[in-house]
Amino acid sequence: MTIIDKTADVPAPRGSNDESGPLLEVRDLHVEFHTRDGVAKAVNGVNYSVSAGETLAVLGESGSGKSVTAQAIMGILDMPPGHIPKGEILFRGQDMLKMSNEERRQIRGQKIAMIFQDALSSLNPVLSVGYQLGEMFRVHQGLSKKEAKAKSIALMDRVRIPAAKERVNDYPHQFSGGMRQRIMIAMALALEPDLIIADEPTTALDVTVQAQVMDLLAELQRDFNMGLILITHDLGVVADVADKIAVMYAGRIVETAPVHEIYKRPAHPYTKGLLESIPRLDQKGQELYAIKGLPPNLLHVPSGCAFNPRCTMAQDICRTEIPALRPVTEQDGTELVGRGSACHFWKETIHG
Amino acid sequence: MGRYVARRLLQMIPVFLGSTLLVFAMMYALPGDPVRALAGEQAVDPTQIAEMKKELGLDLPLWHQYWNYLVNLFQGDFGTQIASGRPVADIISEAFPITVRLALFAFIFTVVVGISMGVFAGLKADTLRDRGLLVLTLLLISVPSFVLGFLGQYFFAFQLGWVDPNVSMEANADELILPAVVLGSLSLAYVARLTRTSVAENLRSDYMRTAVAKGLPRRRIIGVHLMRNSMIPVVTFLGTDLGALLGGAVVTEGIFNVKGVGSAVFDALRHREGATVVGIVTLIVIVYLVASLVVDLLYAVLDPRIRYA
């Protein structure tokens, strides 16, 4: 209770509260959407955790459930049509799904903040950026307009927006794409939350700006020792920043691994396919690999392993039995820490 | 901004000339004339009529009459009514304040009730209360105002006895409430629908999701983030609507016997009082133009993406 009740006036020292468990733990989360055509099972039993200072990258195609999971954590799912039939989302050991709306609101923005993909549409077009940044301080900390503005300028400086003082009263459309995304980051950072969820923060940006924004995000995360959930479909972005990776497919986590191991030795055919579909300079002139088929329709997820219709290794068992996320080991049975695969044939995939 | 306002004001000159000329020509083209109307049923010597017409300048060709009218107008003379001999300026200054009061009441009613209803429905689009509002507004839009006026008069004046069926010459505030509600109900329906659609649409926008993710309280999310954006189309409508309300309402004023601009125009038309009609219509045109200018400026205040140069 100590966490939620008090609106911290001063930034609390990091890790002052029970440091034992992870910051955030998602347990067996299910999310479905009740639509006119039926029930779309967007998330089917997701488990992951993030600790302070750690970066988890959640990887997957559109519709794999990675954003929906994040929205469920933030509590910004549209309910209805969204519905959480099962699961727990533990923040510092407390299940947020059991909290009252007011308790969750207190956590949003202060303890867990979110960065959205398209900063232009995610910022309010008719309010100045200074107002939108300052709102965080005015609402959560009760600061005056003037104090909030000063803090907003400091924040804009922090995310390296040039001439912050002159630009604080400008509107979102007056900024470039990269600058707008910096403003989004500043807004998420405002109250120095414990955890930031970045939902494809660089997808709408061009490549040079992408790198700048990712570097900034990584730097800020280090400085504030925050937990970071980075949602992306870009494997290139992940390699530099993430500590561990969770690959999602059709609402399930199909593989988890520390970041560099997954590039070396994927343990799931889907991950393998993803990695092989990255263009590489040393394979110039060869045809680029592509995973055949389309992501499954969430109204009719294939029986067994959802990936089986697209999988090159699929056997009969893949069509009947849903593979659980099992620990991945070396050939001799030594445990590989943090690795897991939801494939009946993970051994063949990683070792064969 | 200043240049824009100046340009808009300058644009009013041709609109003003055009509209006065048009109304003037239409009055000229109407059959019957005010001098003959003076005599009523009696037979009058045609030479006498011709003489009176000459005296009043009504025998001149259209362009000359229009020219004379404009020259007088720029000297501050709106002309004189032929039948009563009263200056048109008096008629206007008597009728206009009443219409302004009626229009403001109707406008306030439209804004307060219309927007509240729209927000109420838009926040829960496609639910029972939303459907109910759509049906109600459809009813208001499709029922003509004279039906609504007589119904209101019947129930509130004759059955319940809450108000007098007719508005007195003073047009006190309490007397104007029922006519204002009747007058405003059509705009109310439009405002409610416009607000509802706008709110329902903006509710789904990304910045609303951001506002929730920021941990803002619900009333702030709705009151600040949603309303600022949703009011943009509504304000546009309200501005032109205010202009139209200030132009008087012939039917509603007729039902409740309100001596406003609407009934003044109607009377003048019946008696072929060209000068009165042109004077009032000109005033209405100017009010309308000013109202739409104010709306356009307000638009830029509400939406910073709009810039006038």
Report domain extents, chain A. Answer: 22-242, 248-351
Determine the residue among A35, A100, A122 to mutate to test chain B binding: the one whose Cβ has the most chain B Cβ atoms within 10 Å: A122
Residue A14 has pLDDT above 60, yes or no: no
**Rg of chain A in Å (alpha carbons):** 21
Q: Which residues of B touch A127 (CB under 8 A)?
A: 224-225, 228
**In the predicted model, what is the mean pLDDT of residues B2-22?**
86
> What pLDDT is stored for residue B183 in this prediction?
87
Q: Please state, as a whole number, how many other Cβ atoms lie within 10 Å of the Cβ of residue B300.
A: 14
Q: Which residue of A lies nearest to B214 if distances are taken between CA atoms?
A: A109
Of B126, B202, B207, which to mutate for an interface test with A (greatest number of A Cβ within 10 Å)?
Answer: B207
Q: What pLDDT is attached to residue A16? A: 43
**Chain B: closest CA distance from residue A2 (Å):** 18
Q: What is the structure's pLDDT at B309?
A: 64
Q: Which of A104, A114, A124 to mutate to test the interface with B (most CBs of B within 10 A)?
A: A124
The Cα of B23 is separated from the nearest Cα of chain A by a number of Å equal to 42
Q: B305 in contact with A at a CB cutoff of 8 Å? A: yes
Q: Over the stretch B51-88, which tens digit does the pLDDT of each residue have?
A: 877 777 777 788 888 888 888 888 877 777 777 778 88
Surface-to-core class of residue A61, CB atoms within 10 Å of its CB (0-12 exposed, 13-18 middle, 19+ buried): middle
CATH for B88-302 is 1.10.3720.10
Percentages helix, strand, coil for chain B, rounded to the nearest 5? Answer: 75, 0, 25
- pLDDT tier at A153 (50, 70, 90 boundaries)? very high
**Per-residue model confidence as pLDDT tens digits over A303-346:** 888 888 888 887 888 888 888 888 888 877 777 788 888 888 88
- Position B171 scores a pLDDT of 65
pLDDT band at B194 (very low <50, low <70, confident <90, very high): very high
Closest in A105, A118, A121 to B215, CB measured: A105
- B231 neighbourhood in chain A, CB within 8 Å: none
Find the CB nearest A122 among B210, B216, B303: B210
- Confirm or reject contact between A320 and chain B (CB < 8 A): no
Predicted pLDDT of residue B207: 92
Asked if the model's pLDDT at residue A12 lies above 60, the reply is no
CB distance from B307 to chain A under 8 Å?
Answer: no
pLDDT tier, B199 (very low <50, low <70, confident <90, very high otherwise): very high
Q: Is the CATH code 3.40.50.300 the one for domain A22-242?
A: yes
SS (H, E, C) chain A: CHHHHCCCCCCCCCCCCCCCCCCEEEEEEEEEEEECCEEEEEEEEEEEEECCCCEEEEECCCCCCHHHHHHHHHCCCCCCCEEEEEEEEEECCEEHHHCCHHHHHHHECCCEEEECCCHHHHCCCCCCHHHHHHHHHHHHHCCCHHHHHHHHHHHHHHCCCCCHHHHCCCCHHHCCHHHHHHHHHHHHHCCCCCEEEEECCCCCCCHHHHHHHHHHHHHHHHHHCCEEEEEECCHHHHHHHCCEEEEEECCEEEEEEEHHHHHHCCCCHHHHHHHHCCCCHHHCCCCCCCCCCCCCCCCCCCCCCCCHHHCCCCCHHHHHCCCCCEEEECCCCCEEEEEEECCCCHHHHHHC
- Tell me whether residues A139 and B213 touch, CB distance under 8 A: no
The band of A9, judged by pLDDT with boundaries at 50, 70 and 90, is: very low
- Residue in B209, B217, B305 closest to A105 by CB: B217
Are A118 and B206 an interchain contact pair (Cβ–Cβ within 8 Å)?
yes
Q: Do A76 and B209 touch (CB under 8 A)?
A: yes
Mean pLDDT of chain A: 83
- Establish if B123 touches chain A: CB-CB under 8 angstroms: no
Give the tens place of pLDDT for each residue, A76-85: 888 778 888 8
The string of pLDDT tens digits covering residues B121-172 is: 988 888 888 899 899 999 988 888 888 888 888 888 778 877 777 777 666 7
Averaged pLDDT, A150-178: 88
Within 8 A of A74 by CB-CB distance, chain B residues are 213
Q: Among partner residues A109, A122, A126, which is closest to B303 by beta-carbon distance?
A: A126
What would the mean pLDDT of B85-96 be, rounded to a whole number? 84
Q: Are A159 and A189 in contact (CB under 8 A)?
A: yes
Give residue B259's pLDDT band: very low, low, confident or very high (50, 70, 90): confident
* Lowest-pLDDT choice from A96-100, B9-13, B28-32, B266-270: B28-32
CB pairs A-B closer than 8 Å: 74
How crowded is residue B138: how many other Cβ atoms within 10 Å of its Cβ? Answer: 12
Residue B39, pLDDT score: 66
* A284 pLDDT more than 80: no
Query: Which residues sit opposite A82 in a β-bridge?
Result: A33
Q: Are A51 and A26 in contact (CB under 8 A)?
A: no
Check: CB of residue A42 under 8 Å from CB of residue A30.
no
| pLDDT score of A15 | 43
Which tens digit of pLDDT belongs to each residue from B264-309?
888 888 877 777 888 888 888 888 888 888 888 888 888 888 877 6
Q: Which of B213, B224, B302 sits opposite A76 (nearest CB)?
A: B213
Q: Do A124 and B209 touch (CB under 8 A)?
A: no
> Residue A13: what pLDDT?
42
For residue A326, give Cα distances in angstroms to A89, A249, A256: 21, 16, 10
Q: Name the DSSP letter for residue B124.
A: T
Asked if A139 lies within 8 A of B216 by C-beta distance, the reply is yes
- DSSP code, position B303: -
Residue A22 has pLDDT above 80, yes or no: yes
From residue A38, alpha-carbon distances to A64, A249, A302 in Å are: 18, 20, 15
CB-based contacts of B167: which residues, under 8 Å, 6+ apart?
B175, B176, B179, B256, B257, B258, B259
